[in-house]
Amino acid sequence: MIYNRIRKEAIRFLYSFSQRPKRCDSLAIWQKKSSFAHQQFPTPIVTSFSLGRKNQDESLRLIFDNYDEWHSFCALQYNYFSSSLTTKSAGLFRNPELTSPQGFQVATDKALNKAKSIVNSIRIANTDDELRMVVKNLDQLSNVLCSVIDLAEFIRNAHPDQEFSQAANRAYVDLCSYMNTLNTNTELYKVLKYVLSTPRISSHFSDEEVQVANVFLRDFEKSGIHLPSSQREQYVKLSDKIIALGCKFAQTPPTRAIKQIGVYPASRLEGLNPEYIENVNRNKVAVLQTNQWEMVLKYVKDEQVRKDMYIAANSASKSQIDTLEDLLRTRAALANLVGMESYGHMFLNDKMVKTPDHHRPKALADLKLLQKAKQKYTDSKVPVTLNAWDRDYYTAAVMSQSFTQPLAPISPYFSVGSVIQGLSMLFSRLYGISFQPAEVLPGEVWHEDVRKLDVVDETEGKVGTIYCDLFHRHGKFQNAAHYTVRCSRRVDVDHDNKSDYLISDNLDLTEFNDLPSFNRGVKVNGKTGLYQLPVVVLMCDFARPISRNDPTLLSWNEVETLFHEMGHAMHSMIGRTDFHNVAGTRCPTDFVELPSILMEHFVSSPQVLEIFANHYQTRDPIPHNLIQSHKKAHSTFAAIDIQLQIVMALLDQLYHSSLATTPSFDTTAILANLQDTVGPFPSVPNTAWQIQFAHLFGYGAGYYSYLFGQVLAGKLWKEIFEKDPLSREAGEKFRREVLQWGGSRDPWLCVGSALNDERIVAGDNKSMLIVGEWVDSL
């Protein structure tokens, strides 16, 4: 049931150094059709604009590219998160309890009280009617807890006010601890098992409900439900410890043991801007901070300087290494407690076995090009060794030789607003879904930079909300992420008539009208019943605009980042199941990356770029030859990146193997050995890059999922979208066979149906071999 919460935390789609590998997992819904006849459903939410389609798209662009346009649209005088005496606050995400940090304790208490009430109703279920509601009640239990946990998880990572983030963190930890106790609740397990094994009860379940119930049952069993009481208590303690250590590891910025390097004489910084060298020159000694490593590795000619900076940038404090190793050992202990050989065995089947053998030759060919460049530039008469600190420098050198003229910049065609506008236009073509700017109320968001979008389906009306927190600010995490704040579920057949939204009864909300967050649910055109609509946040760290009325211009990689994260968001918007536990991105970890990686392919499509990529000043369309040149540059040395991905996936597996139970377990030594045997570059003494591998918490034992997703997405792109990436027929097929199911359908069936390939539907070893064969054809 809630077992997957442990691995959900920090499943962030961090997007740096080729790391892009999200979800709150928990508890399903039984549909009793006879109960709907007497209900009065509210009118469907449909957002409409008097503007024409073209003007509407232009308005969408401007609210991201022009601060004055956004503030004018909201008419809030910049008081986005004010809770002063003169400004009434709606509360974060329009939850009036969250007008202050103290509101998180109130929300936590209400969630616990309601959760305990639901647990009791499941525990004492006796009649057939009550037993038929067990899976539905488990799903509501999950929703009650995740309605606070998911929101708290986001706020603790994003809110600029430390009091808010600390209060959110306390709520998160307290509720996760309670969820861990539910994982080992034998009464809940016995009732669920009885329900599934009793035909007169289970025969009334829909296929989706059976799927969800089986997920719950497996999660109970993975959580050691069969253990004696004392060992179940130990399971809870270990699980709590994993969460605490994981948060400490993932949320603490890497502390480098070496903070700066000295370069003497300063002239050895040749390759950098002369004015910069002059500015850092102190009596012929230049002192460089470690956070300048990217610039040094790419441009400085002197190899020793690059080496010194590489070692400094990848140095680590002993305390952070100890935290990581304590986390890995605790995971291993948890696995051993439930009878598993390793933590990896708790989650993984044998997958991606053939990938290293398929990609390594391509990576070696790319490395030879860099090696030749180093040999030429250093005037060496014998073959040279290519080291990690050489990669960026000689990549730039080879690139300069590959293009007779410097590449014209492409970023003027990619303002943030243009890209959001383009995504809306693309989704309109593919799925009949578009974005519409939505007003925010005072206190609704955590920073004035945040924009809000309504997601509107041409037939169903409003289907969800996306908050966009895209620009850099001090203290903000640098990596891109998709957060689920609330996911879809059907609510009109709950076991009581009270909302899962934890709000106070004595708040005056009249000035905010009827806030959607507090409705029992909304009617969606074409569906029976009332639904809770999904709410997600996209967070990036793009450069701030140079002025209020100038846009931020994105690089090719940053456009890919935004497309990738929006792929997750659309999975949440379209995968609106009846069950909280399988809605949107709540699906198997090695399947969740498919929709987002597929979106990256659209960035490389000239047909897609031509519908939105216009120069931010002249509005001229992007030249075709510029697209082709940047595509070529972007794909250069891609095989090396893939090989590094393979190293990280293997490292993740080794860290979560039985090695973690040995007295000599040493994460630095394991990394060095792996780099020397599989990596494209030899290991470097006195470095500990592993502390920067944040996915070791959120993607523990599952980092391979990104490589797996690349293969699946590449095949789907080639077979469905490549010929016509704007095809509505292709979009509807992907929506119908993959996106709309969320996690309620077997992923192999989703992919096999989309590809019309019955051979892989079984998801067995033969299926994996077939997927392995796809690699060479992509």
525 within 8 A of 61, measured Cβ to Cβ: no
Instruction: Clarify whether 448 is annotated catalytic.
Output: no
435 within 8 A of 424, measured Cβ to Cβ: yes
Q: In this structure, which amino acid lies at residue 480?
A: A
Q: For the residues of 493-527, what is the DSSP string, one character each?
A: TSSSSS-SS---TT---GGG-S-GGGSS-EE-TTS
The dihedral built from the CA positions of residue 775, 735, 219 and 150, taken in this order, carries a sign that is positive
Q: In this structure, which amino acid lies at residue 646?
A: I
Which DSSP state fits 718? I
643 within 8 A of 363, measured Cβ to Cβ: yes
- In the numeric block, the tokens 């009065």 are attached to 40
CA–CA separation, 138 and 1 (whole Å)? 8
CA–CA separation, 648 and 664 (whole Å)? 21
**Cβ atoms within 10 Å of 458's Cβ, excluding its own:** 11
Coil/strand/helix, residue 453: strand
Tokens coding 534: 């999904």
Which DSSP state fits 451? E
Give the list of residues 6+ apart from residue 644 with CB closer than 8 angstroms, or none: 17, 18, 679, 680
98 within 8 A of 154, measured Cβ to Cβ: no
CA–CA separation, 661 and 332 (whole Å)? 6
User: Of 134, 111, 231, which Cα lies nearest the Cα of 188?
Assistant: 134
Q: How far is CA 301 from CA 19, 267, 395, in A?
A: 27, 11, 13
H/E segment holding residue 35: none
Burial of 404 (C-beta count, 10 Å sphere; 0-12/13-18/19+): exposed
Q: For the residues of 90-114, what is the DSSP string, one character each?
A: --GGG-GGGGSTTHHHHHHHHHHHH
Which DSSP state fits 403? -
H/E segment holding residue 692: none
- Catalytic-role residue among 565, 593, 600, 737: 565
Angle at 278 between CA 274 and CA 282, to 5 degrees: 150
Coil/strand/helix, residue 383: coil
Pairing, β 535-542 against β 461-471: parallel
Which DSSP state fits 469? E
Strands (E), 10-93: none
- In the numeric block, the tokens 């992420």 are attached to 481
User: Of 174, 175, 151, which Cα lies nearest the Cα of 164?
Assistant: 151
User: Of 545, 542, 607, 540, which Cα lies nearest the Cα of 569?
Assistant: 540
Give the list of residues 6+ apart from residue 335 with CB closer than 8 angstroms, or none: 341, 342, 343, 344, 345, 346
Q: In this structure, which amino acid lies at residue 769?
A: L
Tokens coding 666: 């040493």
CA–CA separation, 672 and 684 (whole Å)? 7
Give the list of residues 6+ apart from residue 277 with CB closer than 8 angstroms, or none: 266, 267, 269, 286
HEC-encoded secondary structure of 521-584: CEECCCCCCEEECCEEEEEEEECCCCCCCCCCECCHHHHHHHHHHHHHHHHHHHCCCCCHHHCC
Catalytic residues: 565
